[in-house]
Structure 1
Amino acid sequence: MKKIFSIFVICGFLANAQVGISKNQPTSTLDINGSVSANYRQVTATTYSIVTNDHYITYNGTANSTFTLPAIGSGASSFTGRIYKIKNISAFNITLQASGGNTLRIDNTPVSTFIIPTGAYAEVVNNSNTTGGTWDLSFITLPKPNNVEIYGTQLSIPPHASGTAPVADWTGHSNTAYDTGTGTDAWWVISKASTSFSVGTGFSNASRMTLVYEYQGTPFNITNMNPSLTAGNNSSFPDVFIASFVSLANNGTSGKTRLTVSVARVDFI
């Protein structure tokens, strides 16, 4: 009797595929041509243990809170590459900590906790470590200060008293030709004092002027105010100037704000 044995050989092939969503020809492992939606959670509790299906967490509680990252390990407990995004919109701080006595890496010195202040945002990613510094703070955005005010203006620099087209020095706002602005947003040049250049053995001093400007509006709150000066030249002369801050005080007429500046010509020494 003839017996026939059929042998089936199953060959397996490992395929490296690229998946495209709304894209016919994906060029990455996962190529998405469109928006991405992930889990969102708003927390108000003073303690919160971040869970595996969290992604974007907003804190809007009424007291300081502590967020604890998930415990990690190997195999099914490995979260390598997982990212959590945390935004603090409350008026209080979030203390972010790793679980199991592990730490966070901001730089090469791991820390046990990290404070996310009000208005701040942080992204944290799990690295490949199973102990020690197991989470990396990959992106941190601090809140914008709510008490910062920026004021900018352009002031005139009068000619030097010994220049090519000299203008005599003055005090007491006796020359109004170089005032700028209108109404209360105006700056007057109260005084101008010129110093000529000097050259000697081993030294060379540039010509300069000391200018006192007075703001005609409501005096500024000069506490923690830091002037930043840039000198330009829109004349036909190739002169180069440097403006240096001298003082800012509310000691002008009726307590008006006065700005004192030293302007030096540095291309002719």
Structure 2
Amino acid sequence: MGLPDEKNTTQLNIEWMKFILTTLILFGCIPLLYSQTGNVGIDTNVPGSKLTVNGSFAAAYGNVTANTFVIGENDFYLTWSGTANGTMTLPNSTTGVTRTGRTYYIKNASLMYTITIDADGAELIDNVQTVALQPGESALIVKTDVNTASGTTYQLVMLAKTDPSYIYAVSSSTAETHAQGVNTKANFTSIDFSSNGGGDFNLTTDTWTCPQSGSYRIEFMETGFHSSTNVAAHRLMSIVKNGATQTQQYYTMVVLGVAASQRSSGYDSVVLSLQQGDSIIENLTLCFGCGTASMTSSVRRMVITRL
């Protein structure tokens, strides 16, 4: 009977060591993993749910910078910080595995741009095709048990909006004389209120700059008078975004007697979808050839509210 082959002996020793390590690892994990009446517990021997974890929980995290992105099978929590308005498309419900109950958390981490969550093809998120997230907003999307090419294949469980409590107010009671037919930028001399304490309004250029993308209501008010008598003169108010007029409003000053004691006021407002960095100014024009050479703008106010 010959001696054992040295090579075979070495291989047996390696296999034996693998067996011992595997056994030790298995027994080391047993105290952490329990089962009871069909439930599974991690670090608990009384799991009250199908899966109970007595500790922290982690899932896939992804940071997306592409402006167009298709959500994948292994995605769970996604943050988006694109360089322009973008789209994330949910998985097609008619292909791949059954995803019923799957959840996706999506946050728009951009400071300027909107990310749109789009259901594939004719599929719907609740009753709509898309859900738009403004900067700072996040959504929880859950897959339904509908696995067709149309219908409500996903549900929007939660939409966390950004804090809308942004209000900015500026004004001026410094009287100014404006000639007829001349387009004049409204002048403001005081910042009356700012909910964020920011310097969003430039009193030198009379320009408000949008601090964060979103929807805003812009309100503009003026009180004025003119010195002519027995004349009705109209005043044009305009709200201007990035050099383009967004809305216009007229008001009329009718003077029958002593001009200085009579005032007229106008109000203009508009709701705009703005991006960070957009600029807003107010323009004023006294009608040309309406019987009075000039008018006095006595009070001007502007209030901007994030919706």
TM-score tier by shorter-chain length is 0.3 to 0.5
| Larger RCO (CA under 8 A, 6+ residues apart) | 2
Tell me the TM-score normalised to structure 1 length: 0.48
Which structure shows the bigger proportion of residues in strand conformation? Answer: 2
Which structure shows the bigger proportion of residues in helix conformation? Answer: 2
Tell me the TM-score normalised to structure 2 length: 0.42
